[in-house]
Each structure stands twice: as structure tokens, then as C-alpha cells.
Amino acid sequence: MLGGIGPLATVHFLERVVRLTDADRDQDHVDLVVFQHATVPDRTAFLLGRSGENPGEVLAQDARRLADLGVSAVVLPCNTADAFRDRLVAAVPVPVVSIVERTVTEAVTGRGSRPAAVGVLATEGTVAADVYGAELAARDVAQVLPSDADQRTVTEIIYGQVKRGVPSDGTALRAVVDRLREAGADRVVLGCTELSVAAREHGLLADTLVVDSVETLAADTVRRAGRRLRPA
């Protein structure tokens, strides 16, 4: 696992892998190699042209280090990093799992009736790279994005709260989700792993119309490792 982007979201992802595994003893759990590389250049800053430090090159080097250790797949609990996935795929001989593809699959086919539109909450970098928009469009599903004001709220929750390790504003996050629904979203994707941290803290994941990218990738990681998911 290529982690550290961000650090708390990585710890949260690891906990979800453990909690989701149907295990009675240590040996029933998933073997993981965790590279907590917090100093990878900021993905959003590069995608928005605010930084010349290309995180794609660093991520590809990290993926090669993991491949050299004998891993069977590389997972990244960071949605914005999915914008650089092609570079990682070219760098290693093992699968690089797309958190975006797995989350869109869950949002479109894993929750009952097929949605006409899916709301996406993510970093400005993820939105600019259009990784969710492209994946949804390939399935003929519309993407609904927050207003500029709501995007600023999302950015503050991600960067000003979760990444800084201060309490997150669950009321504000829930209000943004509600406004996406009012704008026509049948489901809402938490397309940033920091939002997953905030949503779990405030009980937002009890809403079955909210699709959490961390939960989706963690469940896929358990299955990919040949382990059973714990019954709900």
C-alpha cells in the first residue's frame, strides 16, 4: 500500500481493512506492505498549476519499491493520486488498483437501482483532473459537482481540518451532501479519503446513498488478498 497521502486517511484505511476482514486470529488477516510516504509533493497543487513538483514521478518510484518487495498489487488510498495512475501502471508489473474505478462501480451498480447522476465531493485537484467525471461518463452516468461555495467548504474540511488534525465540521459536510441531492444526485461519492475520515466521525456513512471511497477500496483489498469480508 502506497500511503501517507494523507497520513490520517492511510491509518483510517488500514483500520477499515482490518475491521472488514472476517478473521478469528492474526493469520486470517491481510498481509500488507505499507509505505507511509507523507512527503510526496501535493497532488492538488500540481494539478492546479500551483506547484512544479510532479508527484507522479515520486509515486511511480514508490510503486517500484513496493513491486521490488514482491507485492501482488499496489493500492493508493488517495483519490487525487488516481490522476497519476497511468504513470504507476507503466512503472510496475503488478496491478495498480484504481480507487476511482472501484468507487464508481460501487456507486453505479452496488447500491440497488442504477443512478442517473452521482454527486462527487473531492479535492479541487481531483475535480480538475476529471477522474470521476470521465469514469462516470464511460458508464453513461452524469456527474454532479458542488457549487463554488460548497467546494470551498469541502476544501476547508479536507485541508483546514482533517489534514491539520483538528475537529471536522460534520454539520457543514452533511449540508453539502444534502445540496448535491437537491441538485439531482441520486448518490453521493466521498471522493477524498480525508472526507471519509470526517464522515465516519460524524455518522454520515449510515446513509446508504453515500458511497465512501475508503470503504470501497478497503473491501476490494480484502477480497483481492483472498480473504473473506466480515458479515455486515
| pLDDT average, residue stretch 197-207 | 95
Predicted confidence (pLDDT) at residue 219 exceeds the cutoff of 90: yes
For residues 198-210, average pLDDT = 95
The C-alpha atoms of residue 53 and residue 74 are separated, in whole angstroms, by 22
Quick: pLDDT tens for 51-73.
999 999 999 999 999 999 999 99
Looking at the chain, the whole-number percentage of residues with pLDDT higher than 90 is 98
pLDDT band at 50, cuts 50/70/90?
very high
Place of cell 455518522: 203
Residue-level pLDDT at 111: 86
Radius of gyration of the chain (CA): 17
> Is the pLDDT at 232 greater than 90, yes or no?
no
* Selected catalytic residue, list 78, 104, 158, 199: 78
In this predicted structure, the answer to whether residue 187 has a pLDDT above a threshold of 90 is yes
192 is catalytic: yes
> Is 78 an annotated catalytic residue?
yes
Provide the pLDDT for residue 24.
97
pLDDT band at 44 (very low <50, low <70, confident <90, very high): very high
CA 2/CA 18 separation, integer angstroms: 17
The b/e string for 191-208 (b: 16+ C-beta within 10 A; e otherwise) is: bbbbbbbbbbebebbeee
Taking residues 205-218, report their average pLDDT.
96
**Cis-peptide, bond into residue 6, ω within 30° of zero:** yes
Which domains are present in the chain? 2-98+216-224 (3.40.50.1860), 100-213 (3.40.50.1860)
Nearest CA-CA partner of 204 in 175, 230, 181: 175
Q: What is the pLDDT of residue 112?
A: 86
Position 149 scores a pLDDT of 98
**Using one digit for the tens of pLDDT, what is the confidence trace for 71-93?**
999 999 999 999 999 999 999 99
Average pLDDT, the chain: 97
Q: Give the per-residue pLDDT at 85.
A: 97
Show the beta-strand stretches assigned E in the chain.
2-3, 35-36, 74-75, 96-97, 117-121, 142-144, 187-190, 210-212
Catalytic residue among 30, 75, 176, 192: 192
The pLDDT of 162-182, averaged and rounded, is 97
Q: What is the mean pLDDT of residues 161-165?
A: 96
Q: SS3 of 98, please?
A: coil
Amino acid, single-letter form, for residue 199: A
Over range 185-202, report the average pLDDT. 97
Q: What is the per-residue pLDDT across 119-145, written as a single tens digit (0 to 9) for each?
A: 999 999 999 999 999 999 999 999 999
